[in-house]
Amino acid sequence: MNPNTSKSRIIEVSILVLLILAAVAVIVINPFASLTQKQNASEETAVVEDATVSVAVQKLELTNLQNVIQGNGNVIDPSSINVYPDVAGTLTSLQVKVGEQVEKDQVLGTVDPSRAGMVYKESIIKAPASGTVLALPFVQGAMVTPQAPVARIGMLEDLEVVMAIAERHIGSVSLGTKANLSFKAFPGKLFTGTVTRISPVLNPASRTLEVGITVDDSKGQIKSGMFPTVELLTEYHEGVLAVPRSSLLYAGAQSYVYVVDEGNVAHRRNVDIGMQVADMVQIVSGLEPGERLVVQGQSLLADGAAVRIVQ
């Protein structure tokens, strides 16, 4: 065989082997490249989905806000009279009971002023006016003095609820302020009243002011000594925008919220707030009725973020 011919055949075989190896490489590697492209596309989709924040929204509507001052009260008889003994000594008898009706000059009890080695005539305690016995602070046999009352008599004609309000609320209460009262003795029933008396001075120890409330009780159900829960109705705003306190965010002293447009894109809105009642806050400016307010998930948002609304 011609040496040149053999050499040529070897070259042809080598080229053929290289072509076969290249074909095999393309067949093997190409599917992995396709798989990699699919994985990259999936990751890009996931990134887009992850960028969408799930939020809950609330459509803004006008509402009414009623501010209140809550506290406890005490039913008293403002016309009650304390009865004092004329002398110091031993309370030898009590001839009345709490809740008993008494007449003027009726004997309530007696006091023996006698001391060791000295015997005196008993002193009689009389009712200074007709009424109902509201309290008997001492029991028979106790030592009494002219400085401490032994009985309290009430007319029970116009009962009053007294309530102490904190100094910061003084400017919100005036004569004529309305009140709602509830009593444990009458579950589910609401009594109404009006502030008819305001103390001219604060209690220096508690920094509170006492107010007197006259209650509408035509049936005479309320009794002296009861302890009602009281709500004083102070500021009232009608037809205002109010948002849940939890929807507000803060940047320093600036309050802001997020609203969602029709394209489900969140927008930051700076707002000015007004009166706060329970968990609702009045919005003075920055929002309009009908807008969709983000009430959950707002802390994860930025201006212009895409959102997905969930309920």
What DSSP character marks residue 299? G
Mean pLDDT (whole number) for 220-242: 94
CATH topology of domain 53-65+238-309: 2.40.420
Whether residue 31 has pLDDT greater than 60: no
Residues 210-227 as b/e (b if ≥16 CB within 10 A, e otherwise) read bbbbbbebeeeebebebe
Q: What is the pLDDT of residues 136-146, one digit of tens each?
A: 999 999 999 99
State the average pLDDT for the chain: 88
Q: For the chain, give the percent of residues with pLDDT over 90.
A: 76
Fold of 81-154: OB fold (Dihydrolipoamide Acetyltransferase, E2P) (2.40.50)
pLDDT above 80: residue 193: yes
* pLDDT at position 47: 43
Q: What is the pLDDT of residues 269-291, one digit of tens each?
A: 999 999 999 899 999 999 999 99
Phi, psi of 199 (to 5 degrees): -60, 140
Whole-number pLDDT of residue 20: 72
Instruction: Please tell me what DSSP assigns to residue 133.
Output: E
Could you tell me the CA-to-CA distances from 118 to 25, 34, 89, 93, 141 in Å, in that order?
132, 121, 12, 20, 18
Q: CATH top-level class for 69-75+157-237?
A: mainly beta
Give the global pTM.
0.64
- Residue boundaries of the structural domains of the chain: 1-50, 53-65+238-309, 69-75+157-237, 81-154
